[in-house]
Structure 1
Amino acid sequence: MINSFIIMMVSLLASVAGAICGIGGGIIIKPVLDSLGIMSVDTASFLSGCTVMSMSGYSVLRAVCNKEFNTRLKTGIPISAGAAAGGILGRYFFGLLSSSFPSPDDIGAVQSVCLFWLTFAVLLYTISRQKIKTNNISRPLLCILAGLMLGVVSSFLGIGGGPFNLVLLSFLFSMEPKEAARNSLLIIFFAQISSLTLIIAGGKVPDFSFKVLAGMILAGIAGAVIGRRVNKLIKEETVDILFRGLNFIIMIICIYNFIKYL
């Protein structure tokens, strides 16, 4: 009972913080669950993936219903297709590494290292973004490859991948923050739904509580709603400071998790 409450609070607070900064809560939920050690790495990845898929699906549906989901179809469709393929590939890599390691904790250590360096790269890009020249790629094959790469990251790490998506979409396609956020939602949704479909079809669903999953999803959606409202009340400079601080905290958690899994 206590563990269920803790998991729900993690989902709620992570989603609030993620929505305030515009990166979603998935990148926070997975490493925090790993650090608490109240479930296996496989279960944490699965539950986190289900949660971010539900959150992104809700956000896309809400935006479509409010007629706010405008995006460039020429790039959006191939990016989403690549993300769906990347979701399958990322889950395949996860299963391959899991079966190769003698201990289930080893895959958690690998995920922690990957997440640390990706977060570090995002932080560097954010600090230096004014000096970096962005591109405006439109070729379908390159769009598919970009979606594929982001889909692999989202699925393999079970985190959604909000900040990585935003940075790469900004760098490769010169997308403004709002357009990048819309495309990021599609990437997360298609990557996770293809990954979860592969898990279910392969009969590799880990043991978990449906009540915990439902609680995580509801808490995640509620946190996203709260976070968006808070975001509108604070200054852009404050959001930027919170974003950098959040990335720094995630990196510390990754270091802790890596040491714990050794």
Structure 2
Amino acid sequence: MIDFIYFIICFAASVVGAVCGVGGGVIIKPLMDAFGDMNVTAISFLSGCTVLSMSTYSVLRSEISGKSRSRKKTGIPLTAGAALGGMIGKCIFNFVKETSQDLSQVGAIQSICLQIVTIGTLIYTIRKNYIRAKQIKSACMCIIIGLALGMMSSFLGIGGGPINLVVLYYFFSMSTKVAVENSLYIIFISQITGLISTVVMGSIPYFHVRTLILMVSGGILGGILGRYWNDKIEIKTINKLFITLLILLIMINFYNMCAYLQ
């Protein structure tokens, strides 16, 4: 029964993630934390695999269709930074896990970090019309920004989340749908390098294969439906959905913080 619930969570999260460009992991990770059925290491790994499956479909579909909105000039150095950041973020996660006496401490750190990021993202999203965006073109700066995003994505096990969109809005003056497309590219790269790092370091946690299959299936199916809706839904509706999602995440993260810190 719990595996079916995880499938539903991954499917719904991936639909919203593909529409809003947040990857789905930012929903999957805290919801699975709230259930408390698995330890944080397994949850982070499974969440990352699910996000990777969804973002892989979305990225490949965009490239094959020839309708990709990604900006190659900034996107290539961004994803290069995200690749390195994904590996570093996974190393940081493993270090925190190994030095913590209780895995609940790791979950608490992740929840607190995610809460700070989510609240900051909500404030920026509400006020972004009053904030003057920048137009960064330097490849070096793109790599640094991608590095930071990749580290955060991999360490938190969320696949990028809302912070990607805020960064793309502010530093590159991207419109909503262009930011969504580029965010999914960053998520794809950071997650695949994070997964490779986990395999190379031999730190794959224990989990039931059935759970992985159902979660990844939910991620792919959600990605298919989410990409379809992303093409149909108006930008105004996407922005409203994004704000609603952030408010929901703040409430879930607050619950998880209290649970881990007990």
Normalised-by-shorter TM-score class: over 0.9
Alignment of 1:76-87 (within 5 A): 76-87=75-86
Instruction: Give the gaps of 5 or more residues in structure 2.
Output: none
For 1:231 and 1:85, the matched residues in 2 are separated by: 29
Identity over the aligned pairs, expressed in percent?
45
For 1:260 and 1:24, the matched residues in 2 are separated by: 25
TM-score (norm 1): 0.94
Q: What secondary structure does 1:161 align onto?
A: coil
For 1:151 and 1:126, the matched residues in 2 are separated by: 21
> Paired residue for 1:187?
186
Report the AA paired with residue 251 of structure 2: I
Does the CA-based 8 Å contact 1:24-1:224 persist in structure 2? no
> Paired residue for 2:94?
95
For 2:200 and 2:176, the matched residues in 1 are separated by: 36
Report the AA paired with residue 130 of structure 2: K
Q: Shift in Å at residue 228 of structure 1?
A: 4.0
TM-score (norm 2): 0.94
> Paired residue for 2:165?
166
Q: Shift in Å at residue 109 of structure 1?
A: 0.2
Q: In terms of mean alpha carbon deviation, does 212-221 or 35-44 score higher?
A: 212-221
Q: In terms of mean alpha carbon deviation, does 146-155 or 180-189 score higher?
A: 180-189
* 1:261–1:119 distance in 2 versus 1, CA, 3 Å: same
Deviation digits for residues 54-103 of structure 1, max 9, x if unmatched?
Answer: 11111111111101124332211111110000001111111111112110
Q: What secondary structure does 1:255 align onto?
A: helix
Q: Shift in Å at residue 235 of structure 1?
A: 5.2
> Paired residue for 1:108?
107
> Paired residue for 1:149?
148
* 1:18–1:77 distance in 2 versus 1, CA, 3 Å: closer
* 1:201–1:231 distance in 2 versus 1, CA, 3 Å: closer
Q: Shift in Å at residue 230 of structure 1?
A: 4.4
Alignment of 1:58-77 (within 5 A): 58-77=57-76
Instruction: Give the gaps of 5 or more residues in structure 1.
Output: none
Deviation digits for residues 1-31 of structure 1, max 9, x if unmatched?
Answer: x111111111112222333444331110000
